[in-house]
Structure 1
Amino acid sequence: MTSEISPHLWFPEARLTFHPDRASDVEIHPLRGLLRFGPYSSGLVPDPIRIATIAPAGEGHRLYAFMKELAQEFEPTERKDYLPKWQGFRATFNLEMRGAAKGCHIELDARLAGEMKDSPTPHVILADRLLRAIQTLEMRREEFDIIFIYVPLSWKSGFVGTKGDDFDLHDHLKAATAARRIPIQLVREDRALAYPDRASVMWRIGLALYTKAGGVPWKLAEADPEAAYIGISYAVRPSDSDKPRFVTCCSQVFDAEGAGLEFVAYDAHEVEVHRDNPFLSRSEMFRVMTRSMDLYRRRHSGRTPRSVTVHKTTEFQPQEIDGCMEALHLCETVDLVQVVEDVGWRGVRVERSRQGGSKGEVARYPVSRGTLLPLGDRESLLWMHGDVVGIGRGAYFQGSRSTPRPIRLVRHAGHGPWDQTARSALALAKMNWNNDALYDPLPVTMGYAKVLARVVKRMSGLGSAPYQFRFFM
């Protein structure tokens, strides 16, 4: 027994590409890349993007004022070492954004506030009124691209359900509109309108708006062209629901460039529960993997990927491994990797002592993002969060506080060095188009799966057709 640990590895920050043909249009900084080169799908998104609106009585003007802000310029007042100046929607995405036709703007009945106040279930009143407005706009679907919904603080009593009622206004509306294939953007008074750094707000809403309209801001510049990545998550419906309790949610099947705007979801019937975690039978896992591969082949001219990596947060049970291997038998390599977010490990960077001598001293900056520490053949620690070089003048530490903790990667199937597993996880952490940060704390396979699981369980019917993730953002 020894207290020594394995030598660590470090992987540089993944580069992003902003043009399908020009190999020179690459950057590690996503926002800086947009300003230098424009979005990856430039010229392929409808111009202009037309915005329909829903607002409380007499408050539609607040949405119009917010839309005007998107066209203006703002200097950042926070994260100045990372966040560039917002130069306006047109300058950033090379297209216009404007209000839809006159009949695509709805102000709700002035009696809504009083009805919510008098009701023991104000969330039911609010959700019903908003869905009726959305249904009205749906009749003019050809006249708009996205719906902006202004959510004032006066509706706060309707944001969540009463005690014991599993209701969330955001997820409820996303579930209803995703089924209709209508992208929406909630504009909250206490967030988008009140947040003091307007550059930060504009970057986040601008990215979401462009992606919800069908745009692709960036892709990964360096990846195995024959690799695919799948994220699996399970949603649990409320116990009083008349639908099957578990929903298997397969997040986007990402290709080598990190692109994956569709996912499959279905009700799982053969489910075992261990320590409150659901696990699929062999046949159920075979089913979800087969549908995932069908989705990949449909996007890649019938081609099967050479390698597949599957991520999920719980361990892979033997029957799940068998189901994966049966469905992915045409692939040369299959890695089944458990991504554990909550770990007890911490790490600090130790540098050579400035006074000389053999004993080092703790550095001023945290462990570098991209640091990999193997714990054995089947486990490793990967710092998704940490110090990054090349973003600002010196080192850049996203969030600038706390000691970054790693994630733990547990390989339940597959073999070989950890290099590709770690590189792909780090790269996929930069593929969340619903965020203006340099990276997410998890690969997007897991991050998107969480969102999908939360919303999908509220959908009345899943159907068999794939869903586009932009409707769930």
Structure 2
Amino acid sequence: MTQSVKPFHLPRHKQLGEPRLRFGRQDSNAVDVHPLRGLLDHGPFSQLRLAGVPNPIKIAFIGQEAMIGRLRHLATELQGRHEPKERRQFLIPYPGFTRVFGASIAPADRSTWITLPKEIDDQVTESDAPHRELADVLTSALSSLVAHRHSFDVVILGLDEKWSNAFSGDDHDDFDLHDYLKAYAASAGISLQIVRGGQSQRALDYFCRCSVMWRLSIAIYTKAGGIPWALADTVPNTAYIGIDYALRPNAGPTERFAICCAQVFDSDGAGLEFVAYEADDIRIERRNPYMREDQMLRVISRSLSIYQRRHAGSVPDRVVVHKNTEFRRDEVKGCLSALSSVRDVELLQVQRRHGWQGVIFDQPKSANRYPSLRGQVLPVGENEALMWTQGLVASIGSPPGYYKEGKGIPQPLLITRFSGRGDFFDLCRETLALTKMNWNNDGPYTQMPVTLEYADTLAQIVKRMPKLEARPYPVRLFM
């Protein structure tokens, strides 16, 4: 080592800027790195689209009599103004649903207010399988709304904490009430918002109403068919795909997997549909599933067809596929065969769990006040890099910036490329931007890109769907 080379110097390290989001106004200034501020200043991305969001957005309700009253009050709260009581470096005052989205919220016709009987409490308490008992009552209520499907846009269902022993199954029953209800509602084409009360961390009782209103309003707007924001700086004509797997509950010896392939959106912010492919004979290695070439070809081909249906049959110039396990040779061949007409194909493994860790040192033996900066990229190989999607964001909040995690040492993502020829830093920059596209969240970002955030959520819900059809589903039904 020469004297000019210092052991703590990392020559290939790069700090990426915070990605920008695009909002509703048709001018180049309708962008912001802050999702909430962008909504307030420029309106939602979809407000100028021909297929707009209904106005008013009509809300149906499901719950016991007292809960219906609380849910109606919640809908009224969404129209009011609320000041932040937490995360003040990021959270801005909420001015009301209409001011943010340009549409109002109103209760749907009373025929869509489903009041659950008081007897449910005893039925759940006395049942040997309380989760099944409660699920039957709630799915029956959802079923009764199918006949009124055109009278409402979103259903708000209130779960009382007194039923908490029925929210999941026992050790022998892989059951989750939230996922089960989402699966049932999605099968019926119903956008469902589940809220809970009884604890300080739940939507009905959380102390910071501003935080609740921002998160709930964005979710309801999206579930009604809106697009809050899109990415501002993407490669044109790009399709993003995320793949994840889930084992069906009570699977037999053949271990059937519901393989969820989510076509998240395109470079213009459209899309957000997914297809689910169920296959037998999935190869399991070290507890990770891998597809045969023909299986991967089918999954990717169906995803590509979603893009073509939305773009008058045209093929994207570029496709980026994310997976949290490595791409085996057969899977790479399946992807490339399905995308043979696409000019540029990037196959990336994005890992959350690995052996790498790191903190910032301003100088030798002197650690920085914050353990990491969001957007740091450190290549560790020709086609591998560590990227910190968590950490201090200098461009949000007052100096020195906003540290969402508050404490602890954020772990980087390990990104590995298995196919593609684009600039690797550009791929990292794009992956970082995709961490800002989860519309079921009121924060500035999530740790994982939305491709894999949604694919994981969808896979867990899809495996509980009573009937899995080979057709595209809107992602908003599963949020």
TM (norm. structure 2) is 0.94
Name 1:192's counterpart in structure 2.
203
Name 1:28's counterpart in structure 2.
33
Choose from 286, 290, 294 the match for 1:275. Answer: 286
Change (3 A) 1:270 1:254: farther
Q: Is the 8 A contact 2:391 2:405 kept in 1?
A: no
Q: Could you tell me how far apart the structure 1 residues matched to 2:232 and 2:328 are?
A: 34
- Pairing 1:108–2:116 present: yes
Give the CA deviation at 1:402.
1.0
Choose from 457, 460, 471 the match for 2:466. Answer: 460
Name 1:94's counterpart in structure 2.
102
Name 2:350's counterpart in structure 1.
339
Choose from 114, 125, 128 the match for 2:133. Answer: 125
Change (3 A) 1:290 1:399: same
Q: Is the 8 A contact 1:253 1:296 kept in 2?
A: no
- Pairing 1:403–2:414 present: no
Q: Could you tell me how far apart the structure 1 residues matched to 2:394 and 2:369 are?
A: 14
Give the CA deviation at 1:254.
2.6
Q: Could you tell me how far apart the structure 1 residues matched to 2:120 and 2:418 are?
A: 53
Post-superposition CA distance 1:97-137 (Å, at most 9, x none): 01001111011111110111111101111111111111111
Q: Could you tell me how far apart the structure 1 residues matched to 2:105 and 2:259 are?
A: 37
Q: Could you tell me how far apart the structure 2 residues matched to 1:342 and 1:260 are?
A: 29
Name 1:435's counterpart in structure 2.
441
Give the CA deviation at 1:212.
0.2
Give the CA deviation at 1:346.
2.3
Q: Could you tell me how far apart the structure 2 residues matched to 1:335 and 1:68 are?
A: 46
Q: Could you tell me how far apart the structure 1 residues matched to 2:100 and 2:422 are?
A: 42
Post-superposition CA distance 1:44-99 (Å, at most 9, x none): 11000000101124432111111111111111111000000111111111111010
Name 1:163's counterpart in structure 2.
171
Q: Which runs of 5 or more residues in structure 1 are unaligned?
A: 353-358
Change (3 A) 1:219 1:225: same
Give the CA deviation at 1:14.
0.9
Choose from 242, 245, 269 the match for 2:256. Answer: 245
Give the CA deviation at 1:270.
4.0
Give the total of aligned pairs: 467
Q: Could you tell me how far apart the structure 2 residues matched to 1:348 and 1:11 are?
A: 17
Matched AA of 1:440: T
Pairing of 1:321-360 with structure 2 (within 5 A): 321-351=332-362, 359=364
Matched AA of 1:247: A
Q: Is the 8 A contact 1:20 1:40 kept in 2?
A: yes
Change (3 A) 1:364 1:344: same
Q: Is the 8 A contact 2:390 2:405 kept in 1?
A: no
SS in 2 for 1:437: coil
Matched AA of 1:327: A
Name 1:356's counterpart in structure 2.
none
Post-superposition CA distance 1:352-384 (Å, at most 9, x none): 5xxxxxx57322223221111000112110111
Matched AA of 1:123: H
Q: Could you tell me how far apart the structure 2 residues matched to 1:74 and 1:58 are?
A: 24
Q: Could you tell me how far apart the structure 2 residues matched to 1:230 and 1:205 are?
A: 26
Q: Is the 8 A contact 1:6 1:373 kept in 2?
A: no
Give the CA deviation at 1:226.
2.1
Q: Is the 8 A contact 2:239 2:263 kept in 1?
A: no
Q: Could you tell me how far apart the structure 2 residues matched to 1:249 and 1:259 are?
A: 19
Give the CA deviation at 1:390.
1.8
Q: Could you tell me how far apart the structure 1 residues matched to 2:237 and 2:77 are?
A: 42
Q: Could you tell me how far apart the structure 1 residues matched to 2:192 and 2:82 are?
A: 24
Q: Is the 8 A contact 1:384 1:406 kept in 2?
A: yes
Pairing of 1:25-424 with structure 2 (within 5 A): 25-42=30-47, 44-189=52-197, 190=199, 191-240=202-251, 245-351=256-362, 359=364, 361-394=366-399, 395-424=401-430
Matched AA of 1:136: S
Higher mean alpha-carbon deviation, 231-240 vs 409-418, is at: 409-418
SS in 2 for 1:140: helix
Q: Could you tell me how far apart the structure 1 residues matched to 2:316 and 2:232 are?
A: 18
Q: Which runs of 5 or more residues in structure 2 are unaligned?
A: none
- Pairing 1:10–2:10 present: no
SS in 2 for 1:224: coil
Choose from 441, 449, 452 the match for 1:446. Answer: 452
Q: Could you tell me how far apart the structure 2 residues matched to 1:252 and 1:298 are?
A: 12
Q: Could you tell me how far apart the structure 1 residues matched to 2:142 and 2:462 are?
A: 19
TM (norm. structure 1) is 0.95
Q: Could you tell me how far apart the structure 2 residues matched to 1:76 and 1:13 are?
A: 23
Q: Could you tell me how far apart the structure 1 residues matched to 2:247 and 2:376 are?
A: 34
Q: Is the 8 A contact 1:339 1:409 kept in 2?
A: yes
Post-superposition CA distance 1:415-445 (Å, at most 9, x none): 3531221011011111111101101101000
Q: Could you tell me how far apart the structure 1 residues matched to 2:157 and 2:28 are?
A: 39
Change (3 A) 1:88 1:407: same
Q: Could you tell me how far apart the structure 2 residues matched to 1:442 and 1:175 are?
A: 23
Q: Is the 8 A contact 1:244 1:267 kept in 2?
A: no
Q: Could you tell me how far apart the structure 2 residues matched to 1:259 and 1:7 are?
A: 35
Q: Could you tell me how far apart the structure 2 residues matched to 1:15 and 1:205 are?
A: 23
